[in-house]
Amino acid sequence: MLTVATQSFAQTDEEQIKASINQVFDGMRKSDSSLVHAALHPSCTLKSIGKDKTGEVRLQEDAILSWLKQIGTKREGVILDERLTSYVIKVDGEMAMAWTPYEFYVNGKFNHCGVNVFMMMKTDKGWKIIGIVDTRRKENCIK
């Protein structure tokens, strides 16, 4: 009698969370808004914290649909590449948070850096992004 052992290839929550986040940036590089959209919960929000020209700290909220339209609009010869430099992921049941420092490049040239914070929710379709908050600056990048 022959016994065959099978190995489970189930991903951990952390691996699934990273995959959802990476899907966003793969979609950005490919100008594929549907790939990005598939990683988002329908109630997802997008916010940025930064300084205006006077140096005052501001919170800017962007509409997800406008952002997806920007991603899906191909600009001939323009490659947008956001590179995550690390991940810190915390999970509590069906909620997770990922802290991901990044560097952003346009056509291979450094443009800015900052940190993304992804709020995630585990659904019957996998981990979905329910909110993104980022910072943006030109120096003092976090690795």
Stated pTM of the model: 0.88
Asked if residue 3 has pLDDT above 60, the reply is no
Mean pLDDT of 36-47: 97
Query: What CATH code is carried by the domain that includes residue 71?
Result: 3.10.450.50
**How many structural domains does the chain have?**
1
Asked if residue 32 has pLDDT above 70, the reply is yes
DSSP track, the chain: ---------PPPHHHHHHHHHHHHHHHHHHT-HHHHHTTEEEEEEEEEEEE-TTS-EEEEEE-HHHHHHHHHS--TT--EEEEE---EEEEETTEEEEEEEEEEEETTEEEEEEEEEEEEEEETTEEEEEEEEEE-BSSS---
- Report the chain's mean pLDDT, rounded to a whole number: 91
Report if residue 37 sits inside a domain: yes
Report if residue 53 sits inside a domain: yes
Report if residue 140 sits inside a domain: no
Report if residue 99 sits inside a domain: yes
Asked if residue 114 has pLDDT above 60, the reply is yes
Report if residue 57 sits inside a domain: yes
Report if residue 4 sits inside a domain: no
Asked if residue 4 has pLDDT above 60, the reply is no
Asked if residue 2 has pLDDT above 50, the reply is no
